[in-house]
Chains A and B, each alone.
Chain A
Amino acid sequence: MEAFCFILTGSFVALSCGLLGVFLILRKMAMVGDAISHAVLPGIVLAYLVSESRDTIPMLLGAAAVGVLTTLLIEWLYSKARLQMDASIGITFTWLFAIGIILISLYTGQVDLDQDCVLYGEIAYVPLDLWILPNGKMLGPGPVWITGGGFLLILGLVIFGFRGFEITTFNPEYAAAIGISTVFWHYLLMSAVSITTVISFESVGAILVVAFLIVPPATAYLLTDKLQHMLWLTALFGVLSAFFGYYLAVAIDGSIAGAMSVVAGIFLTLALLLSPKGGVLRKQKIPSRTVG
């Protein structure tokens, strides 16, 4: 039963991160997840200074607010200051992280306060993190409900916003020409990414979120040219990574998040070697591709 809870939580995180990750990769913004994982530090410190508590709710609110701010800053540097996307991401998260460190050394040096000890959860604890109603009725592990709810929201967003995301990702000029607001779809995607990552950090820890945001979409990218296929393959590899990763962790009695990420990396390696389009083992020259 525990196994099912782990795999389910892992799969929900893999699915919500993976579906968003597909669009991030195609927009060359894959490192946004990692950036947010560092950038939330000042949010945590400020939330602590205001609430004087290290409970989950204030920490989550602070982190989510700064998560959204991170994506706004990245976009501003990219579009208004005309820096490259990778430079914008790098500047934003190092700057915010540094502000967090300065806040800690100025105000909270004597308090044990950083992402690791107040925000990042650990997937290994999922079966113990039970939700119990006041009348004693068990609802099962909270993270499963949280990640599951998050997954349904992201799924709805991707299904009903598919056209908008597709056209603004591949053909922003055309989208603008026919009156679709690229800015709107961009901020919609980015807000979804920052809130999903922060909530997933709290449920399962940082490494798993960052890995699932990038690795399964990258694996799918190697195997297909079609956006829909890429989304389906991402979902498939994400769930398979959660499944086999869990059993790898059991076999070696190691970190579950670590094992799931490693399995995702193994799928990527296999795709790299065997991809029908450009697999290393096939040694065929292919013309530059366009996904879509």
Chain B
Amino acid sequence: MAIITSLPSRFFFISICLAVAFLVGCSNASINDNPPDFSSKEKLQIVCTTGMIGDAIQRIAGDRAQVTTLMGPGVDPHLYKATQGDLRKLSEADLVFFNGLHLEGKMIEILDKLGRLKPVVAFADSLPESRLINSTNYANAFDPHIWFDVALWSEAITNVVNTMARLDSGYSDHYKKNGTAFNILLKTLDQEVRQRILDIPESQRILITAHDAFAYFSNAYGIEVRGLQGISTVSEYGLRDISDLVKLITERKIKAIFVESSVPEKSLEAVVEGCAKRGFETRIGGTLFSDAMGAAGTPEGTYPGMVRANLNTIVSALK
């Protein structure tokens, strides 16, 4: 027992030394209430969470900024785990952009805290609540997948352009010019989606996927959406979910259902088999990009390319 009785003082002494060292070491950063001055910087360092946001910011900033995207192709933003390198990028960034509405899960808390040290902007925060979808009875449980409504995404981009023009006022014309050009492109894209959806016979205008990511797409373009699972990917689909879907597909003779890039295919195969047993042939119509874009360098690695790829998959399978 001799060792133990002498332990407390020794341990507490060490702990206090550590705490002091820590206070001295970790508290040398300072908080800045004034907006940062970017005019002296040759190039801004901007960090974005998802590919869709990175694509938008790259177009708006052009060569004024070095844009880094944290979440690569095929990554589920809800479950993303940061690496040591990501942390460095976040702490070195001049500006940070993220989606918000809980898309980035627990990471959003950290981004909010980082917002006290540097400008951190959520795309979704600039949108009025009336434009957001909440398919639950709970307050603040908005659907985060806003980029599937091209017009809504374009609205968010207008707001982000204004924010950037205000923060980096020396380049405000540059941002506004790029922003306008991108918004014109998005307007064409929005009309293209609207037009092409009309090619699908009205009775076939229903999008069946594994998890509910397409509510905004549904609202904007008049195509019904049914998911096997809710938004949360931890809840398993029930047997009745499958049989309900099978019934719906056979009754309405839906030609195809769709897999998403970030959710396993198995559950939907069960639905296809179920339909076959009831004598109706449906098929997996292809893979849709939901929470992440395609690989960089491919057409699907850009926002318009991703939207078109989804559109082509849906239209050609249901037409």
A→B interface (CB under 8 Å): 1-2, 4-5, 8, 41, 48, 52-54, 56, 101, 104-105, 108-114, 116-122, 124-125, 127-130, 132, 136-141, 144, 148, 151-152, 155-156, 159, 162, 205, 228, 249-250, 253-256
Contact = CB atoms under 8 A, between A and B. Distances in A.
Interface string B125-143: 0000000000110111101
Given A8-B18, A109-B235, A118 B106 contact: yes
A159 B141 CA distance: 46
B98 to A, nearest CB: 13
Contacts of B12: 152
Given A52-B140, A104-B235, A159-B8, A116 B84 contact: no
Contacts of A120: 106
16 contacts: A4-B21, A5-B26, A104-B235, A110-B136, A110-B141, A118-B105, A125-B107, A127-B26, A130-B116, A132-B31, A138-B27, A138-B30, A140-B27, A155-B15, A250-B84, A255-B81
Given A5-B26, A109-B232, A114-B232, A124 B106 contact: no
Nearest to A229: B3
A116 B109 contact: no
Contacts of A41: 234
B238 interface: yes
Contact of A249 (B84, B116, B230): B84
Interface residues of B, number: 59
A116 B3 contact: no
Interface string B23-46: 101111111010000000000000
Interface in B88-109: 90-91, 102, 105-107, 109
Contacts of B91: 2, 127-128
Contacts of B22: 4-5, 8, 140, 144, 148
A136 B138 CA distance: 35
B78 interface: yes
Contacts of A108: 136, 138, 230, 232
Interface of B: 3-4, 7-8, 11-12, 15, 18-19, 21-23, 25-31, 33, 78-79, 81-87, 90-91, 102, 105-107, 109-110, 113-114, 116-117, 135-136, 138-141, 143-144, 212, 229-236, 238
B76 to A, nearest CB: 10
A112 B110 contact: no
Contacts of A205: 81
B7 A159 contact: yes
Contact of B232 (A4, A104, A124): A104
B263 to A, nearest CB: 13
A144 B26 contact: yes
Contacts of B27: 137-140
A256 B84 CA distance: 7
Nearest to A111: B141
Q: Which of B25, B139, B143 has the most CB of A within 10 A?
A: B25
Given A110-B136, A124-B86, A136-B31, A116 B238 contact: no
A109 B229 contact: yes
B234 A52 contact: no
Nearest to B102: A112
Given A112-B78, A140-B26, A141-B26, A128 B113 contact: yes
Contact of B26 (A4, A110, A119): A4
Contacts of A136: 31, 33
A101 B238 CA distance: 11
Nearest to B106: A117
Given A54-B140, A110-B136, A125-B110, 9 more contacts: A101-B235, A108-B136, A108-B232, A111-B232, A112-B78, A112-B232, A132-B31, A138-B27, A256-B84
A257 B25 CA distance: 23
B110 A129 contact: yes
Contacts of B21: 4
B26 A105 contact: no
A84 B141 CA distance: 42
B109 A253 contact: no
Given A109-B231, A112-B105, A52 B23 contact: no
Contact of A159 (B11, B28, B86): B11
Contact of B82 (A118, A122, A162, A250): A122
A224 B135 CA distance: 58
A127 B117 CA distance: 12
A137 B79 CA distance: 33
Contacts of B87: 2, 124-125, 127-128
Contacts of A256: 83-84
Contacts of A255: 81, 83
A111 B83 CA distance: 26
B138 A122 contact: no
A226 B141 CA distance: 53
A145 B11 CA distance: 17
A114 B106 CA distance: 10
Given A52-B139, A110-B231, A114-B232, A124 B81 contact: yes
B25 to A, nearest CB: 5
Q: Which of B31, B78, B116 has the most CB of A within 10 A?
A: B31
A4 B79 CA distance: 26
A252 B110 CA distance: 24
The 6 nearest A-B residue pairs measured at CB: A109-B230, A117-B105, A140-B26, A114-B234, A124-B82, A104-B235
